Protein backbone atom coordinates (compact mmCIF):
# COMPACT_ATOMS: atom_id res chain seq x y z
CA UNK A 1 0.00 0.00 0.00
CA UNK A 2 1.26 3.48 -0.88
CA UNK A 3 1.51 5.43 2.38
CA UNK A 4 3.01 8.61 0.92
CA UNK A 5 1.05 11.83 1.64
CA UNK A 6 -2.06 12.44 -0.43
CA UNK A 7 -2.30 15.89 -1.95
CA UNK A 8 -5.25 17.46 -3.68
CA UNK A 9 -4.30 19.94 -6.39
CA UNK A 10 -7.10 22.42 -7.06
CA UNK A 11 -7.01 24.48 -10.24
CA UNK A 12 -9.06 27.67 -10.09
CA UNK A 13 -7.57 29.31 -13.17
CA UNK A 14 -4.86 31.84 -13.90
CA UNK A 15 -1.78 31.90 -16.09
CA UNK A 16 -0.19 28.84 -14.48
CA UNK A 17 -2.68 26.49 -16.04
CA UNK A 18 -2.71 28.03 -19.48
CA UNK A 19 -1.11 26.80 -22.65
CA UNK A 20 -0.77 28.63 -25.90
CA UNK A 21 -3.07 27.78 -28.75
CA UNK A 22 -0.37 27.93 -31.40
CA UNK A 23 -2.90 28.63 -34.14
CA UNK A 24 -4.49 31.69 -32.53
CA UNK A 25 -1.71 32.69 -30.15
CA UNK A 26 -4.25 32.98 -27.31
CA UNK A 27 -3.80 31.42 -23.87
CA UNK A 28 -6.34 28.70 -23.08
CA UNK A 29 -6.81 26.61 -19.91
CA UNK A 30 -4.91 23.36 -19.86
CA UNK A 31 -6.62 20.02 -19.15
CA UNK A 32 -5.56 19.16 -15.62
CA UNK A 33 -6.44 15.51 -15.98
CA UNK A 34 -3.36 15.34 -18.18
CA UNK A 35 -1.10 17.05 -15.67
CA UNK A 36 1.12 14.04 -14.99
CA UNK A 37 1.53 13.47 -18.72
CA UNK A 38 2.55 17.08 -19.32
CA UNK A 39 4.87 17.33 -16.29
CA UNK A 40 6.41 13.88 -15.87
CA UNK A 41 8.77 15.29 -13.20
CA UNK A 42 5.83 15.16 -10.78
CA UNK A 43 6.15 11.37 -10.71
CA UNK A 44 9.42 11.79 -8.82
CA UNK A 45 7.66 13.46 -5.89
CA UNK A 46 7.04 11.29 -2.89
CA UNK A 47 3.31 11.99 -2.74
CA UNK A 48 0.07 10.90 -4.39
CA UNK A 49 -1.50 13.71 -6.37
CA UNK A 50 -5.18 14.00 -7.26
CA UNK A 51 -6.47 16.93 -9.27
CA UNK A 52 -9.71 18.84 -9.44
CA UNK A 53 -10.51 21.93 -11.43
CA UNK A 54 -13.16 24.64 -11.24
CA UNK A 55 -15.84 23.84 -13.82
CA UNK A 56 -14.96 27.10 -15.49
CA UNK A 57 -11.39 28.16 -14.62
CA UNK A 58 -11.16 31.93 -14.31
CA UNK A 59 -8.72 34.76 -14.53
CA UNK A 60 -8.35 35.69 -10.87
CA UNK A 61 -9.61 39.21 -11.61
CA UNK A 62 -13.05 37.55 -11.70
CA UNK A 63 -12.73 36.11 -8.19
CA UNK A 64 -15.56 36.92 -5.80
CA UNK A 65 -17.08 35.70 -2.55
CA UNK A 66 -19.13 33.01 -4.36
CA UNK A 67 -15.98 31.50 -5.84
CA UNK A 68 -14.14 31.78 -2.50
CA UNK A 69 -16.88 29.54 -1.17
CA UNK A 70 -16.64 27.20 -4.17
CA UNK A 71 -12.95 26.77 -3.39
CA UNK A 72 -13.55 26.45 0.36
CA UNK A 73 -16.22 23.80 -0.26
CA UNK A 74 -13.81 21.71 -2.36
CA UNK A 75 -11.22 21.73 0.45
CA UNK A 76 -13.74 21.29 3.26
CA UNK A 77 -15.52 18.47 1.41
CA UNK A 78 -12.29 16.49 0.98
CA UNK A 79 -10.50 17.65 4.15
CA UNK A 80 -10.32 14.19 5.75
CA UNK A 81 -9.24 12.46 2.54
CA UNK A 82 -6.03 14.42 1.94
CA UNK A 83 -2.92 15.36 3.90
CA UNK A 84 -2.48 18.66 2.14
CA UNK A 85 -3.85 20.97 -0.54
CA UNK A 86 -2.24 22.99 -3.31
CA UNK A 87 -4.36 25.69 -4.92
CA UNK A 88 -3.40 26.99 -8.35
CA UNK A 89 -4.67 30.53 -8.70
CA UNK A 90 -4.01 33.59 -10.82
CA UNK A 91 -1.48 35.82 -9.14
CA UNK A 92 -3.48 39.06 -9.48
CA UNK A 93 -5.87 38.40 -6.60
CA UNK A 94 -4.13 35.44 -5.01
CA UNK A 95 -3.36 37.32 -1.80
CA UNK A 96 -7.05 38.21 -1.37
CA UNK A 97 -8.32 34.64 -1.91
CA UNK A 98 -5.57 33.09 0.19
CA UNK A 99 -6.29 35.55 3.02
CA UNK A 100 -10.01 34.75 2.80
CA UNK A 101 -9.28 31.02 2.90
CA UNK A 102 -7.14 31.53 6.00
CA UNK A 103 -10.19 32.95 7.79
CA UNK A 104 -12.49 30.23 6.42
CA UNK A 105 -10.51 27.44 8.07
CA UNK A 106 -10.22 27.89 11.83
CA UNK A 107 -7.91 25.41 13.63
CA UNK A 108 -6.38 24.24 10.37
CA UNK A 109 -4.20 21.17 10.88
CA UNK A 110 -3.09 20.66 7.26
CA UNK A 111 -1.26 22.79 4.69
CA UNK A 112 -3.19 24.78 2.08
CA UNK A 113 -0.54 26.13 -0.30
CA UNK A 114 -1.43 28.68 -2.96
CA UNK A 115 0.76 29.10 -5.99
CA UNK A 116 0.63 30.38 -9.54
CA UNK A 117 3.07 31.78 -12.03
CA UNK A 118 3.94 34.77 -14.16
CA UNK A 119 4.40 32.65 -17.29
CA UNK A 120 2.16 29.79 -18.48
CA UNK A 121 3.21 26.24 -17.74
CA UNK A 122 3.89 25.52 -21.40
CA UNK A 123 6.21 28.51 -21.86
CA UNK A 124 9.90 27.76 -22.37
CA UNK A 125 11.00 30.14 -19.59
CA UNK A 126 8.15 29.33 -17.27
CA UNK A 127 8.31 29.79 -13.50
CA UNK A 128 5.25 27.51 -13.20
CA UNK A 129 7.08 24.21 -12.91
CA UNK A 130 9.31 25.21 -10.01
CA UNK A 131 6.43 26.91 -8.20
CA UNK A 132 4.14 23.92 -8.66
CA UNK A 133 6.71 21.23 -7.81
CA UNK A 134 7.95 22.96 -4.65
CA UNK A 135 4.41 23.89 -3.53
CA UNK A 136 3.52 20.18 -3.80
CA UNK A 137 6.67 19.21 -1.90
CA UNK A 138 5.84 21.66 0.87
CA UNK A 139 2.24 20.44 1.08
CA UNK A 140 3.58 16.89 1.43
CA UNK A 141 6.25 17.79 3.99
CA UNK A 142 5.80 15.75 7.15
CA UNK A 143 7.68 15.15 10.36
CA UNK A 144 6.84 12.06 12.41
CA UNK A 145 3.79 11.55 10.23
CA UNK A 146 2.44 15.05 10.92
CA UNK A 147 2.32 17.95 8.40
CA UNK A 148 5.04 20.55 8.94
CA UNK A 149 2.88 23.44 7.69
CA UNK A 150 -0.55 23.82 9.27
CA UNK A 151 -1.62 27.13 7.80
CA UNK A 152 -2.47 28.80 4.51
CA UNK A 153 0.76 29.60 2.68
CA UNK A 154 1.65 31.24 -0.60
CA UNK A 155 4.61 29.80 -2.49
CA UNK A 156 6.24 31.89 -5.19
CA UNK A 157 9.79 32.18 -6.46
CA UNK A 158 11.65 30.16 -3.82
CA UNK A 159 9.74 31.36 -0.76
CA UNK A 160 6.78 30.12 1.23
CA UNK A 161 5.10 33.14 2.82
CA UNK A 162 2.21 33.31 5.24
CA UNK A 163 -0.61 33.90 2.76
CA UNK A 164 -2.47 36.52 4.76
CA UNK A 165 0.73 38.57 5.04
CA UNK A 166 1.31 38.82 1.29
CA UNK A 167 0.75 41.45 -1.38
CA UNK A 168 1.38 41.22 -5.09
CA UNK A 169 4.02 43.87 -5.72
CA UNK A 170 5.29 43.18 -9.21
CA UNK A 171 3.62 42.40 -12.53
CA UNK A 172 6.88 41.66 -14.31
CA UNK A 173 9.38 39.98 -11.99
CA UNK A 174 9.12 36.31 -11.08
CA UNK A 175 9.39 37.47 -7.47
CA UNK A 176 5.87 38.89 -7.57
CA UNK A 177 4.88 38.73 -3.89
CA UNK A 178 6.13 40.39 -0.77
CA UNK A 179 5.50 39.88 2.93
CA UNK A 180 7.00 43.00 4.47
CA UNK A 181 5.79 42.47 8.00
CA UNK A 182 6.44 38.75 8.45
CA UNK A 183 9.45 36.60 7.51
CA UNK A 184 9.40 33.71 5.03
CA UNK A 185 8.18 30.42 6.49
CA UNK A 186 10.27 28.26 4.16
CA UNK A 187 13.09 29.18 1.79
CA UNK A 188 13.88 26.95 -1.14
CA UNK A 189 17.54 26.63 -2.06
CA UNK A 190 19.48 23.44 -2.55
CA UNK A 191 17.45 22.26 0.47
CA UNK A 192 14.13 23.43 1.84
CA UNK A 193 14.97 25.59 4.85
CA UNK A 194 12.04 25.52 7.26
CA UNK A 195 11.94 28.46 9.65
CA UNK A 196 10.18 26.46 12.38
CA UNK A 197 9.68 29.29 14.84
CA UNK A 198 7.68 31.36 12.32
CA UNK A 199 5.17 28.62 11.50
CA UNK A 200 1.63 29.06 12.77
CA UNK A 201 0.55 26.40 15.25
CA UNK A 202 -2.91 25.97 16.74
CA UNK A 203 -2.76 25.23 20.48
CA UNK A 204 -3.97 21.74 21.46
CA UNK A 205 -5.93 19.40 19.26
CA UNK A 206 -8.88 21.58 18.27
CA UNK A 207 -11.43 20.57 15.68
CA UNK A 208 -11.34 22.44 12.37
CA UNK A 209 -14.25 24.85 11.96
CA UNK A 210 -15.28 25.89 8.47
CA UNK A 211 -16.67 29.43 8.01
CA UNK A 212 -18.29 30.44 4.76
CA UNK A 213 -20.18 33.66 5.22
CA UNK A 214 -18.45 36.75 3.85
CA UNK A 215 -20.39 40.02 3.92
CA UNK A 216 -19.14 42.09 1.00
CA UNK A 217 -21.08 45.27 1.74
CA UNK A 218 -17.84 47.16 2.25
CA UNK A 219 -15.60 49.62 0.47
CA UNK A 220 -11.88 50.48 0.49
CA UNK A 221 -10.93 54.15 0.37
CA UNK A 222 -7.38 55.34 -0.11
CA UNK A 223 -6.51 58.67 1.48
CA UNK A 224 -4.92 61.21 -0.82
CA UNK A 225 -4.12 64.91 -0.51
CA UNK A 226 -7.07 66.88 -1.86
CA UNK A 227 -9.71 64.23 -1.17
CA UNK A 228 -13.09 65.71 -2.06
CA UNK A 229 -15.68 66.14 0.70
CA UNK A 230 -18.78 65.76 -1.48
CA UNK A 231 -17.53 62.75 -3.38
CA UNK A 232 -16.52 60.95 -0.20
CA UNK A 233 -19.85 61.79 1.47
CA UNK A 234 -21.71 60.46 -1.53
CA UNK A 235 -19.75 57.15 -1.46
CA UNK A 236 -20.40 56.81 2.28
CA UNK A 237 -24.11 57.70 2.06
CA UNK A 238 -25.27 54.21 1.04
CA UNK A 239 -27.43 52.57 3.68
CA UNK A 240 -26.09 49.22 2.51
CA UNK A 241 -22.59 49.99 3.75
CA UNK A 242 -21.49 47.83 6.71
CA UNK A 243 -17.75 48.41 6.69
CA UNK A 244 -15.04 50.71 5.36
CA UNK A 245 -11.31 50.17 5.11
CA UNK A 246 -9.39 53.42 5.01
CA UNK A 247 -5.88 53.20 3.64
CA UNK A 248 -4.21 55.95 5.61
CA UNK A 249 -0.84 57.65 5.47
CA UNK A 250 2.18 56.29 7.38
CA UNK A 251 1.37 55.11 10.88
CA UNK A 252 -2.39 55.60 10.38
CA UNK A 253 -2.77 59.32 9.70
CA UNK A 254 -5.54 61.13 7.84
CA UNK A 255 -6.51 64.69 7.23
CA UNK A 256 -7.72 66.38 10.42
CA UNK A 257 -10.34 68.47 8.61
CA UNK A 258 -13.52 68.74 10.66
CA UNK A 259 -15.86 67.47 7.92
CA UNK A 260 -13.82 64.28 7.52
CA UNK A 261 -13.76 63.41 11.21
CA UNK A 262 -17.49 64.18 11.49
CA UNK A 263 -18.34 61.85 8.59
CA UNK A 264 -16.30 59.03 10.15
CA UNK A 265 -17.77 59.62 13.60
CA UNK A 266 -21.37 59.63 12.28
CA UNK A 267 -20.80 56.39 10.39
CA UNK A 268 -19.43 54.66 13.50
CA UNK A 269 -22.46 55.89 15.48
CA UNK A 270 -24.65 54.29 12.80
CA UNK A 271 -22.82 50.96 13.36
CA UNK A 272 -20.47 50.98 10.37
CA UNK A 273 -17.11 49.28 11.10
CA UNK A 274 -14.21 51.50 10.02
CA UNK A 275 -10.75 49.97 9.82
CA UNK A 276 -7.51 51.92 9.60
CA UNK A 277 -4.75 50.26 7.53
CA UNK A 278 -1.60 51.93 6.33
CA UNK A 279 -1.02 52.48 2.63
CA UNK A 280 2.70 51.81 3.29
CA UNK A 281 3.98 48.43 2.15
CA UNK A 282 5.53 47.76 5.57
CA UNK A 283 5.07 48.90 9.16
CA UNK A 284 2.04 49.38 11.34
CA UNK A 285 -0.84 51.68 12.19
CA UNK A 286 -0.28 53.28 15.57
CA UNK A 287 -3.26 55.56 16.23
CA UNK A 288 -2.38 58.30 18.67
CA UNK A 289 1.29 58.45 17.70
CA UNK A 290 0.69 61.64 15.73
CA UNK A 291 -1.88 64.33 16.38
CA UNK A 292 -3.40 63.45 12.99
CA UNK A 293 -4.67 60.11 14.29
CA UNK A 294 -5.64 60.93 17.88
CA UNK A 295 -9.24 61.75 16.95
CA UNK A 296 -9.60 58.56 14.87
CA UNK A 297 -8.75 56.53 17.95
CA UNK A 298 -11.14 58.55 20.14
CA UNK A 299 -14.11 58.11 17.82
CA UNK A 300 -13.69 54.32 17.66
CA UNK A 301 -11.85 53.60 14.42
CA UNK A 302 -10.54 50.01 14.41
CA UNK A 303 -6.76 49.59 14.18
CA UNK A 304 -5.62 47.26 11.42
CA UNK A 305 -2.13 47.40 12.97
CA UNK A 306 0.33 45.86 10.46
CA UNK A 307 -2.27 43.95 8.41
CA UNK A 308 -2.17 44.06 4.62
CA UNK A 309 -5.12 45.62 2.78
CA UNK A 310 -5.88 42.19 1.28
CA UNK A 311 -6.11 40.48 4.67
CA UNK A 312 -7.93 43.51 6.14
CA UNK A 313 -10.62 43.14 3.50
CA UNK A 314 -11.00 39.38 4.01
CA UNK A 315 -11.08 39.77 7.80
CA UNK A 316 -13.68 42.52 7.65
CA UNK A 317 -15.96 40.54 5.31
CA UNK A 318 -15.49 37.47 7.51
CA UNK A 319 -16.27 39.22 10.81
CA UNK A 320 -19.22 41.16 9.32
CA UNK A 321 -20.53 37.77 8.18
CA UNK A 322 -20.50 36.60 11.80
CA UNK A 323 -23.15 39.18 12.82
CA UNK A 324 -21.32 40.63 15.80
CA UNK A 325 -22.04 43.89 17.59
CA UNK A 326 -19.67 46.67 16.51
CA UNK A 327 -17.98 46.64 19.94
CA UNK A 328 -17.26 42.90 19.80
CA UNK A 329 -16.21 43.11 16.14
CA UNK A 330 -13.69 45.84 17.03
CA UNK A 331 -12.16 43.75 19.83
CA UNK A 332 -11.91 40.64 17.65
CA UNK A 333 -10.66 42.61 14.63
CA UNK A 334 -7.78 44.00 16.69
CA UNK A 335 -6.83 40.47 17.81
CA UNK A 336 -4.73 38.24 15.53
CA UNK A 337 -6.89 35.29 14.43
CA UNK A 338 -4.64 33.47 11.94
CA UNK A 339 -1.29 35.22 12.35
CA UNK A 340 -2.38 38.03 10.06
CA UNK A 341 -1.31 40.86 12.40
CA UNK A 342 0.95 41.48 15.34
CA UNK A 343 -0.30 40.96 18.91
CA UNK A 344 0.04 44.47 20.26
N1 LIG B 1 -4.40 37.74 -14.80
C2 LIG B 1 -3.88 36.48 -14.30
C3 LIG B 1 -4.72 36.07 -13.12
O4 LIG B 1 -4.60 36.62 -12.06
C5 LIG B 1 -2.45 36.63 -13.93
C6 LIG B 1 -1.83 35.40 -13.33
O7 LIG B 1 -2.34 34.31 -13.44
O8 LIG B 1 -0.77 35.51 -12.74
O9 LIG B 1 -5.53 35.17 -13.25
- Please give the distance, rounded to the nearest whole angstrom, from the Cα atom of residue 14 to the centre of ligand 1: 4
* Helix 309-320 / helix 94-104 crossing angle, nearest 10 deg: 40
Predicted local confidence at residue 120, as pLDDT: 86
The DSSP code for 122 is T
Of 15, 97, 120, 126, which is best to mutate to test ligand 1, by the most ligand atoms within 8 angstroms of its C-beta? 15
Q: Which of 65, 152, 74, 143 is nearest to 115 (CA)?
A: 152
Q: Mean per-residue pLDDT for 80-87?
A: 98
- Please give the distance, rounded to the nearest whole angstrom, from the Cα atom of residue 273 to the centre of ligand 1: 31
Q: Lowest-pLDDT range, 17-26, 158-167, 326-335?
A: 17-26
Q: Is the pLDDT of residue 343 over 90?
A: no
Predicted local confidence at residue 40, as pLDDT: 84
- Distance CA(235)–CA(242), nearest Å, equals 13
Q: Which residues line ligand 1 (CB under 6 A)?
A: 13-15, 59-61, 90-92, 116
Q: Whose CA is nearest to atom 6 of ligand 1?
A: 90
Q: With pLDDT > 70 as the criterion, what percentage of the chain qualifies?
A: 99
Q: With pLDDT > 90 as the criterion, what percentage of the chain qualifies?
A: 82
308 is catalytic: no
- Distance CA(259)–CA(243), nearest Å, equals 19
Which pTM does this prediction carry?
0.96
Angle at 71 between CA 68 and CA 77, to 5 degrees: 130
- Please give the distance, rounded to the nearest whole angstrom, from the Cα atom of residue 16 to the centre of ligand 1: 8
Predicted local confidence at residue 279, as pLDDT: 97
Amino acid sequence: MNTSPKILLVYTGGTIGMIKNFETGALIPFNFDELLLKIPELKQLDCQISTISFDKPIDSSDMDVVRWKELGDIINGTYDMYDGFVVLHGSDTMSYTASAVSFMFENLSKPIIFTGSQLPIGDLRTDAKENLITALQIAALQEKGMPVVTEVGLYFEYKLLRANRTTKVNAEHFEAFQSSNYPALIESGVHLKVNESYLYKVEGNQKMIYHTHFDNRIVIVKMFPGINENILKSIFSSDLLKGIIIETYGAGNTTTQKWFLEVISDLIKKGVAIVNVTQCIGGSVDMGKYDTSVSLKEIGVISGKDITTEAALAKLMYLLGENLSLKVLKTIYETPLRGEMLEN
